[in-house]
Amino acid sequence: MAFPVRTFSMDFPHLHLLLNHFPIIGTMVGVGLFLISFLVKTEEVGRSSLIVFVGMALLTIPAFMTGVGAQEKMVADPSVSNALIQRHEGAAELAVWFMEITGALAVLALWQSARRASPAPWNTSAILVFSLVTVGLMVRTGNTGGEIRHLEVRSAQEGTAAEATMAYFEPSPAKFTRLMVVNKWWWAFMMDLHFVGLVLLIGTIGMLNLRVLGFGKQLPIAPLNKLVPWGIAGFGINVLTGLLAFIGMPTFYTHDIAFVLKIGAILLAVTTMGLFYLTSAFRDCEAVGPGENAPLRARFIAGTSLFLWFAVIVLGRYIQPLQDSIAR
């Protein structure tokens, strides 16, 4: 039963162009800062590079997703080769995972470095490897994307051994999509995990937010923060299962206003969490003991965060009835 809502229209090609340069250039900037942090031993440079990686991992999500809508618009033009678009999509479907892993490792490193002087050595090495691979894969994604429209940059790189190796690992978009939806129990399992992730996230981060707002005031705030890594893990589960679900039904989600707004709300909610930890809001809260009020700024951030996460839940629930709410 579809709702009689008006059909929205969205300019996916434009949005895709607006977003898709960030993961490429941004990750390069991140790698640059990361390398500089080895030379000049300033904590700030290292931290900045990690924050850039996390930001790019997040921006990659809408950049990737708007590609589907852009493709639909472009294949209508007979001068555009669908084979080139497929190649670009395959390149993106490989790059996305390395970007998300880099982002996850960067979150871990930020968490580790908040307590110790620097992240664990194994993590530093892992970030170096994954961010470098991500840059390579992102460049390739950008190249194959550019070649769709720009005849003048099309090169004969298909023949090279490196390209053949890459193509071997690259998923075929159609096969990947089929793999996600061919078995309904696999789909049910992913959705199950998506709800487990939701509970972990809202149970821990929601609890911290509520306490900062003044609920259950007899709790000191600082120890609640130790629950947050479990919430971040829940978020990680949901990025994974959410991306897989999107790959399973890309056109379904693309033409759904609830889905588009949900992704927007997620990005804002994470930004709010970033504000909490990166401004002095969190440090102010750490000193708040039993029965005490958190500072106004922290309460404002916590309230916004809580509102946004619940908005994510509500919008997620309306995805199904609001299918086809964005014009094809």
Instruction: Give the residues lining the site for another protein (CB under 8 A).
Output: 1-5, 184-185, 187-188, 191-192, 195-196, 198-200, 202-204, 206-207, 210, 215-216, 218-220, 222-227, 230, 290, 310, 313-314, 316-318, 320-321
Sequence-ordered list of residues with C-beta below 8 angstroms from that of 159, at least 6 positions apart, any chain: none
Q: What is the CA radius of gyration of the chain?
A: 21
What minimum distance in Å lies between the beta carbon of 324 and another protein?
A: 14
The amino acid sitting at 315 is L
Residue with Cβ nearer another protein (64 or 235):
235
Residue with Cβ nearer another protein (56 or 201):
201
What minimum distance in Å lies between the beta carbon of 307 and another protein?
A: 12
* Cα 213 to the center of its chain, rounded Å: 27
The amino acid sitting at 324 is D
Residue with Cβ nearer another protein (200 or 273):
200
Residue with Cβ nearer another protein (38 or 195):
195
Residue with Cβ nearer another protein (133 or 196):
196
Nearest to 251 by CA among 323, 182, 164: 323
Q: From residue 40, how far is each of 1, 36, 47, 91 by CA, in Å?
A: 60, 6, 13, 35
CB count within 10 Å of CB 283 equals 10
Tokens 């759904």 identify what position? Answer: 256
What minimum distance in Å lies between the beta carbon of 285 and another protein?
A: 14
Joined tokens for residue 287? 């000193």
Q: Is 61 in contact with 243 (CB distance < 8 Å)?
A: yes
> Distance (Å, rounded) from C-alpha 20 to C-alpha 243?
17
What minimum distance in Å lies between the beta carbon of 8 and another protein?
A: 15
CB count within 10 Å of CB 130 equals 21
What minimum distance in Å lies between the beta carbon of 128 and another protein?
A: 30
Tokens 């194994």 identify what position? Answer: 122
Residue with Cβ nearer another protein (5 or 174):
5
What minimum distance in Å lies between the beta carbon of 219 and another protein?
A: 4
The amino acid sitting at 22 is F
Residue with Cβ nearer another protein (224 or 260):
224
What minimum distance in Å lies between the beta carbon of 229 and another protein?
A: 9
